[in-house]
């Protein structure tokens, strides 16, 4: 018997990426940036946000079912050197998700849409932010 499309639950791709970073890198990671001293204590910190993507729930053949999520990852660190090093590790951790199952989803493919770049941060904050955009094709596990 085939599972009706309405019964399928797509995984939360943000949660999948946050948990990957927490498990593989032991960096603090979340969808919301901590405030005040908690933010400074969390450095390096990775903020994960879904910024788009499409879900394919059916095709003419009825055989494809996946979510092409676009994820923005921002690494905050006390220095540019530390932020660059952390970003290198974050990129590798996201790439390693391909072919794995986590949080109710199976990652079919990962790719990089926009490579790492310094993103503006509040002046005089003494924090460097480097971000990039990744793509993940995920299906329910």
Tokens of 42: 């969390």
Q: Which domains does the chain have, with CATH numbers?
A: 5-140 (3.30.2000.10)
Q: Confidence class of residue 141 from pLDDT cuts 50, 70 and 90?
A: confident
Q: Tens digit of pLDDT for each residue in 64-94?
A: 789 999 999 999 999 999 999 999 999 999 9
Question: What's this model's pTM, rounded to 2 decimal places?
Answer: 0.89
Q: Tens digit of pLDDT for each residue in 48-69?
A: 999 999 888 776 666 678 999 9
Q: Percentage of the chain surpassing pLDDT 70?
A: 90
Q: Which residues of 7-37 are buried (b: 16+ CB within 10 A; e: fewer)?
A: eeebbbbbbbbbebbeeebebbbeeebbeee
Q: How many CB atoms lie within 10 A of CB 41?
A: 10
Euclidean distance between CA atoms 70 and 14, whole angstroms: 10
């Amino acid at each position: 018997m085939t599972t009706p499309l309405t019964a399928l639950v797509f995984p939360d791709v943000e949660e999948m990426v946050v948990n990957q970073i927490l498990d593989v890198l032991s960096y603090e990671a979340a969808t919301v940036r901590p405030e005040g001293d908690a933010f400074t204590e969390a450095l390096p910190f990775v903020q994960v946000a879904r910024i788009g993507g499409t879900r394919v729930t059916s095709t003419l053949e009825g055989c494809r079912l996946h979510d092409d999520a676009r994820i923005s990852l921002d690494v905050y660190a006390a220095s540019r050197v530390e932020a660059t090093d952390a970003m290198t590790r974050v990129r590798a951790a996201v790439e390693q998700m391909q072919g794995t199952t986590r949080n109710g989803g199976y990652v079919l493919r990962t790719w990089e849409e926009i490579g790492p770049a310094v993103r503006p941060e509040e002046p005089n904050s003494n924090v460097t932010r480097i971000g990039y955009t990744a793509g993940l094709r995920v299906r329910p596990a």
